Structure formats: structure tokens, C-alpha cells
Structure 1
Amino acid sequence: MTRLPRLLLPLAATLLACAGHAAEVQVAVAANFTAPIKEIAAGFETATGHKVIAAFGPTGGFYTQIRNGAPFEVFLSADDSTPARLESEGETLPGSRFTYAIGKLVLWSAEPGYVDEGGQVLKDNTFKHLSIANPKTAPYGLAATQVLERLGLSQTVAPKLVEGSNITQAYQFVATGNAELGFVALSQVSKDGKLTSGSAWQVPDELYQPIRQDAVILAKGKDNPAAQALVDYLKGEQAAAVIKAYGYEL
């Protein structure tokens, strides 16, 4: 039988111990947070040995799935009201809810120079289609309707609205040219403070209610050490650096 060198025995024992304690955590992630959580998950898995199994979609849709028994153990919402509602309904681990990011809304076009820095293109109303996420299930879609209402444009642009089921689909409508512009999450079109493509107007905060994004450990994850470990990691410096890089506030 092959024997390990004596110096490698402690290392092997450590690796076996880590493997024995490694677990998977099922996470429901709001669509706007897709790119950040992928980076965060990679760092988390390296640091802890646990594995993140993530599903992405609209916050409202996840609420329905969780209430119907979906196997999610951690929920990263695009608002604070949905986790609070689940908390009041006994679907979460008490005391685990916290705000992990504050989202920012932008008016974006895949075409460089199409959207001006003041958002005048919206008032000029020369476009044919304006993409937004479904305001009934997606907090960023709700924020978009608040902007239009406060600018007095709700009635004017209503015939031109193209609705995505979530913020990812709203983004895709613009990226593929099916809409000239649309309201999307800043995290989808920028990194490290720079626009990754096209042109955009970052909507002033006073035009929509703050998009406070809460995370919570769900009831199904209360006994999973990987669920608590992920939440702890989200509160740490490494995750914070990634979240800020995508334009969120903490």
C-alpha cells in the first residue's frame, strides 16, 4: 500500500476534514444581482469549501415559489418588503434578515451616444420602444414606473413600453435592439464605475424609492451551516468590494 510522506499527513487530514464539513446551499437570487453573486460565490467557495447553487429570477416569482415549498435556503431579494413578508409568515430564520445592497436604476441604450447624461432622450420621446421589468414582480420595474410618474411621462410613453418578466429580460430587449432604450440595473451595464457598453443616464435617487435589497436565511436553511456561512461572507469585506464594484451602495 502506498504511504503518504510524513510531512503531507497533516495537510491530508486537514483537507479531509474540510471536505467532510463542506455543504451546498440553494440560493434564490434577484436577477439584477446575477453578475455580483457569481463573483462572490467563487470567493466564498474558495474560502469555505461550501458550494453555492444559485437560481436567478424576479423577486415576486421567488416569493411564490418559496411559499409553495421550493427548496431554497437563502434568498437574496431585490427589495426589502418581500423578505419581511416571508419573515412575518414564518418562512425565514428569525433575526437573519439584513440589507446586503442598495440598487441603482439607469436608463440605458446599447447604442453609444443615444442616451444623454441628463435623460432628455426620455422627454424627447422620439424612440419607439422603452423596456422595463414587470413592476408587479420586479422592484426595478416598479422603480421605473415611479420615475416615469414623477417626470409626468407615464401616459406619454405607456404605448411604447415593452415589459420583461424580470430585469434580465428588460436588459436583453435593449441589448438585442428590440427596444432602443430601457430602465435596467446599474450593475448590469457598469463595472468599477465605468459603463461597459452603450450609453446611460443614472437616474437621480429622488425620482424613485430606494431599492433596498435584503437577504435572509429561509426556514429550509436553518440547519445548513453553508447557509449561515454564505450570509456571514456577504457581510464581509471581500463581498463588499464586489458589491461596490457593480455600482451598489452598502
Structure 2
Amino acid sequence: MSAPAPLLSATTLARAFGGVVAVDAVSFSLAAGETLAVIGPNGAGKSTLFALIAGQLRPDRGQVRLEGRDVTRLPPHRRARLGLGRTFQAPRVFGALGLGEGVHLAASLCLPAARARARARMLIARLGLEALTDRPVPALAYGDLRRLDLALALATSPRVLLLDEPVAGMAPAERAQLMTLVRAIAAEENLGVLFTEHDMDVVFGHAGRVLVLDHGRVIADGPPDAVRRDPVVRQRYLGTP
């Protein structure tokens, strides 16, 4: 009996901008229930890789598959309907709506009306946003905006969740709290989570696996402790102990 297909797979993805190769033959897979962090120095290709997976960019070469389906040439909204949710470095939210309205609208894009209402209510409660349901989005504190951005990404019941620097700008206690919540929701819903983050405490404290990029290439991929000890990773990114 063959093993089930990974939730997400990238095969020899490549993308150049002029003469600069941003992503160079990157391959990896993400399983259900797995939390994979992508790290690397500035200019390593992390943002480009995320854009290729989410559909904001198309690769020059290579393939992206979502639950075994080739989505390489599909736009972001089609990938969202097939089970890909994402957050952004700067939260992208419905600025003209209240918090509750925004989450419900996001859920209704992919779910039937009754399921959308239930999903929105559940996420607002799960993320501790109930007291802010009627609050206009521009009036939210930054940490609440981050949680709202996560709620919007989860609203469509995705199978794969992409988190682009999900705790950037948050206080240390808020960072740990949000990532613990992400891991709990991912376990409950059997999601695959792919995230990038500059805070190494968050990466090594919450990732089950770490992939390291340097100049667009994968230089390490494995358990956090093994990656932390990898001499090439230490030389090019983490530094000496």
C-alpha cells in the first residue's frame, strides 16, 4: 500500500529576477500535522519561495503540488479554494469592516453560509477575539491584528497554512502564545504549517522541522537540533554558539 501524498510539495522550484537567482532548485514536502520553518539570511529567497507556493509568483522551472494536485500555474484565489491559507509579513485585513464581519466574509468565500458562520464564531473564540468582535479593524492593537490575520487565513478551513513572519513586531510573550496556539490548532485540524521567522527562539521552540536557505538553495533540512548543530548552517547563518 503506497504512502499518502504529502499535503504540499515543491519540486526543483526556481525563480530568477534578471541575473539574480532568488530560488534555485528548491525541493521539499510537507505532511499533515507537520510544522516546517524556513529560515536563512536576508536575501536567501524565503519571501520568493513563499510567493511561489502561494501563487503570487510563477516559477521559471519546477512544480508546486497541493494534496497531489499540480497548482503551479493556478492564481492565489484558486489555491485558497483548494486548501491553501496564508498570512503576510504586514497583516492584510478588511480595514473597512468590523473584526467579526471580516472573519465571516473570509469564511464565506469558500464555505457554505451555515458553515461559514460557525467557522467564524469558532475561530474568534479560539483566538481570544470575542470581546473585539464588533471593534472596527483600524482600532485594533497590533497583537490583535496579528491574531485577526491568522483567523482570516484559517477561516476557509485550509489544509496547508503559510505563515510569513507571523510574530514580527509582537512582544516576546505574545510571540510564544500565538505560536503555541498555531501548533494546537494545526494538531486539532491535522494541518500542515509552513512558516518563516527571524526569531530563532520561535523557530527552534515551535518547528518540528527546519529548512535552511542560502542564496536560493537548500543547505539543510531536518530536525531542529540537527539543523542548529549543522556546521554549514552555523557558518552561514546562525554563527558560533
Give the TM-score normalised by structure 2.
0.29
